[in-house]
Amino acid sequence: MNMLFTLVWSATAETLAMVFASTLFSLILGLPLGILLCITGPEAQGGIIPKPLLNNVLGRVVNILRSFPFIILMILLFPLSRIIVGTSIGTTATIVPLSIAAAPFVARIIETAIKEVDPGVIQAARAMGSTTMQIILKVLIPEAMPSLVSGITLTIINLIGYSAMAGAIGGGGLGDLAIRYGYQRFRPDVMLVSVIVILVLVEVVQVIGNKISARMMARR
């Protein structure tokens, strides 16, 4: 019993670290990409600097990356992990493919959230003499904030799922624990506890995300 607790505890810590780091990095990659996708889009949908060609190319790249099965992407990215963190297995190494897999997803979510900003408000901001940067930072992002928070919540939940999958190819964390102990060593109790912890994590993230988003809406 004590051993089970220690195993699950350390695996949960690994999962949380992986999810936290990859959420952060996927946001760093995906947020600018999502904003770029939106502002270079058609003017009627919030495109403040329409660039049809760039928008098209970006959109295609994002779609290709998103349609890649995660496991395959992870294997393809082993060399990149080795370059960046020196190894291709373990918790730290998994952060690289997780971040890259989630980034296009984040980009689309950010794009959708920002497209919802009332074009009239953007027009008003332009009429007042805002620069493009000011519109992005002081209008688009704050106005879209509740949707952005919902989108980030969804990203974290997705990453919890992905990180469990990464366990199948030596990723570490709860997924790894469930496969190595639960499946390969016939320990259904470990499997069960791992799955329950993952479910609880997802639920907690969802509840917190909803709360923050609802609170923002209430203050408007």
Partner 1 sequence: MKQLNRAYGSLHAVHQISLDIPSNTIYGIIGKSGAGKSTLVRLISLLERPDSGEIYYDDARVDNLPKHDLIKQRRKIGMIFQNFNLFSSRNAAQNIAYPLEIAGVPKHEIDTRVEELLGLVGLSGRGNAPISTLSGGQMQRVAIARALANHPDILFCDEATSALDPQTTRSILGLLKDLQKNLNLSVVMITHQMEVVRDTCEYVAVLDNGSVVEEGAVIDVFTAPGSATTKEFLANLTPLTEPEEVRKDDMVRWSDEGGRFTLRFRGDLTGEPVLSRIQKKYDVEFNIRAGGVQRVSGEDVGTLICDIIGEPDEVDKAVSALHLSGILVEEEDL
Tell me which residues touch partner 1 (CB under 8 A): 118, 120-121, 123-131, 134, 138-139, 142-143, 145, 219-220
**Among residues 49 and 196, whose Cβ is nearest to partner 1?**
49
Q: Which amino acid is at 53?
A: L
Q: Measured from the CB of residue 220, what is the shortest distance to partner 1 in angstroms? A: 5
Q: What is the DSSP letter of 116?
A: T
Closest distance to partner 1 from the beta carbon of 113 (Å): 13
Residue number, 93 or 140, with CB nearest to partner 1? 140
Nearer to partner 1, 53 or 127 (CB): 127
CB of 128 to partner 1, least distance (A): 5
Nearer to partner 1, 6 or 131 (CB): 131
**In whole angstroms, what separates CA 105 from the centre of its chain?**
7
CB of 117 to partner 1, least distance (A): 9
